[in-house]
Amino acid sequence: MKDRGAGIEEQISGAMILRYVLNPGRELGASYSSGIDTTMVTVDALAAQPLSKYDIVALYDVSSLPEKSLQDLDTFVRQGKSVLMICSAACSPLRFNKNMAAGSPERPPLAPAQIGNDRALNPPAGIAPEATRHPLLAPFRDRLQGDLSVIRFATVREIRGEQPGVQVAIRATDGTPLAIEREVGQGRVLLLTFGLELDRGNIARCRAFPAIMWRLVNHLTGQLKARPPDVLPAGETRVLDVSEAPFALETSLDLTRLEGGGEARGAAGGPSAGAQRVLVERLPIGPEKQVVLKGLPAGQYLIHKSQSAGTGAQVLSYTRPVTVNADPRESRMAQIAGSELQALFGPQTRILAPEHLAELVPLGGEFWTVLAIMVFVAYIVEAAAGWVACVRSERRRSAEGAA
């Protein structure tokens, strides 16, 4: 008789675990959300999906795809999106290498490398400490953000025949690649050699698992890149380049103004919770991947994907800050003519040369000097009179005593 707990573990697929961890609140019917909206489709239905509305396509244990889907995914990645491949137990190495890791005359290989058979790690391997140098795991250098030392991988896929430009993003303690990535055009393809099933490792049981997967999504969507704000002068028309990957498939972008706490930024570079976003205008993207900003007043702005009407609360997956400052050239530092001063302040304006600046000294206060002298003289006269009176009084007293 099978153990009941083991039977439960076998029923939980890695794709279902991935779906739950990306947005657990929505899957459990809670009122909160991680902001990551997911859609699960079969391989046959992928060709009918409009890929332009997605930022990431995750292929979990997908060994092969129709040629049309492969071409669509190649265009999808080259225009700035990302593909996540997870090769677990059900992925066939033979079919994967002949289809996903092989190119055609119309397209290059989609997968960054070929895969081999399952490799059992005995003892199970963890994540190498140097893996935290990658932006994906950088926050976990601080164990308060999550302890990666407890993660163990029991079974992984072997990697063979890497494509040019492939980089190992995460490596196990025994040197086994756990995640490899390759930039394709403006996007990237990332392949995980480990599955999320409970019998292939304990990563899905670890407390840091949701944070790792959310960071993975941010890494693939380009949100981990710190971009300084564009600084523009107020009142001038400027052209901004918006060719970054998250805007690749967009035809227009929204320009919103931050009001009320807009200068406070969150950890991901977005606006603070107290900032209110007021839509200024919708910016069409030109053929050169540029937008035109016309004469904005000074303030803090955000450029982001256009929000459809009636969606309720806005969740901005990627925002680009724009700072508009007052133009310093609005203050004229050149010498102004006298006629301009009179026209500005009126005809009663007096214009004096530098040598006549003494005439601008305010009059009055001269009597205080005379008053001080008079008081001083009065004190001297009073003192002299007192002295004379005292001498006379002494003489009179002496004369009366002699008589």
Query: Is residue 26 located within the same domain as residue 95?
Result: yes
pLDDT band for 227, please (50, 70, 90 cuts): low
In terms of DSSP bridges, do strands 276-284 and 113-125 run parallel, antiparallel, or are they unpaired?
Answer: unpaired
Average pLDDT score over residue span 339-365: 77
Domain assignment present for 402: no
Residue 269 CA to residue 289 CA, distance in Å, equals 23
Q: pLDDT above 70 covers what percent of the chain?
A: 86
Residue 233 has pLDDT above 90, yes or no: no
Whether 53 and 142 map to the same domain: the answer is yes
On whether both 208 and 177 belong to a single domain, the answer is: yes
* 306 and 200 in a common domain: no
Q: Is the pLDDT of residue 400 over 60?
A: yes
Work out the average pLDDT over 334-363. 78
Q: Is residue 385 part of a domain?
A: no
SS3 of 285-324: the string is: CCCCCEEEECCCCCEEEEEEECCCCCCCCCCCCCEEEEEE
The residue among 330, 358, 378 that closes a domain is 330
CATH code of 288's domain: 2.60.40
Least confident of 173-177, 183-187, 272-276, 337-341: 272-276
Residue 376, domain member (yes or no): no
Q: Does 143 share its domain with 31? A: yes
Task: Give the model's confidence band at 107: pLDDT under 50 very low, under 70 low, under 90 confident, else very high.
Answer: confident
pLDDT in tens, 75-98: 999 988 999 999 998 999 999 999
Q: Are residues 60 and 41 in the same domain?
A: yes
Can you give the pLDDT at residue 132?
87
CB atoms within 10 A of CB 374: 11
pLDDT of residue 262: 41
350 in any annotated domain: no
From 141-145, 283-287, 331-335, 352-356, the region with the lowest mean pLDDT: 331-335
| Rg of the chain (C-alpha set) | 39
**Two tokens at 187?**
């996007």
With 70 as the cut, is the pLDDT of residue 355 above it? yes
pLDDT at residue 310, as a whole number: 41
Tokens standing for residue 226? 């710190």
Nearest partner of 256 among 306, 207, 301, judged by Cα: 301
Residue 275 pLDDT > 70: no
Tokens of 280: 């200024």
Residue 214 belongs to some domain of the structure: yes
pLDDT at 263: 44
Query: How much is the pLDDT for 364?
Result: 65
> Is the domain of 168 the same as that of 281?
no
CATH of the domain at 137: 3.40.50.880
Which tokens belong to 209?
């698992």
Token pair 């999906």: residue: 49
Residue 175 domain-assigned (yes or no): yes
Q: Among residues 330, 352, 377, which one ends one of the domains?
A: 330
Whether 182 and 242 map to the same domain: the answer is no
Query: Is residue 258 situated within a structural domain?
Result: yes
User: Could you give the angle at the alpha carbon of 223 between the alpha carbons of 231 and 156, nearest 5°?
Assistant: 160
Do 89 and 175 fall within a single domain? yes
In this prediction, residue 316 carries a pLDDT of 52
More confident site: 6 or 174: 174
Would you place residue 171 in the very low, low, confident or very high pLDDT band (cuts 50, 70, 90)? very high
Q: What is the pLDDT of residues 205-224, one digit of tens each?
A: 999 999 999 999 988 988 77
**What backbone torsions phi and psi does residue 54 show, to the nearest 5 degrees?**
-110, 150
Would you state the pLDDT for residue 261? Answer: 52
pLDDT at res. 120 = 93
Beta carbons of 116 and 144 less than 8 angstroms apart: no
pLDDT band at 259; cut points 50, 70, 90: confident
Q: Are 235 and 216 in the same domain?
A: no
DSSP letter string, 190-242: EEESS--STTSBSGGGSTTHHHHHHHHHHHHTTTTS--PPEEEETT--EEEE-
pLDDT of residue 366: 65
pLDDT digits (tens, 9 = 90+) for 318-337: 788 899 988 766 666 677 77
Check: CB of residue 237 under 8 Å from CB of residue 327: no
Q: Which domain holds residue 126?
A: 4-220
Terminal C-alpha separation, the chain: 151
66 lies in a domain?
Answer: yes
Which run of H or of E encompasses 4? helix 4-11
Name the residue with tokens 């059900």.
Answer: 90
Q: Is the pLDDT of residue 225 over 80?
A: no
- The count of domains in the chain is 2
If asked whether residues 123 and 237 sit together in one domain, one would say: no
Note the residue count of the chain: 403
pLDDT attached to residue 265: 46
Portion of the chain with pLDDT greater than 90, in percent: 34
Of 330, 354, 375, which marks where a domain is finished?
Answer: 330
pTM value? 0.61
d(CA 111, CA 59): 11
Please determine, for residue 5, whether its predicted confidence score (pLDDT) is greater than 70: no
Same domain, residue pair 210 and 268: no
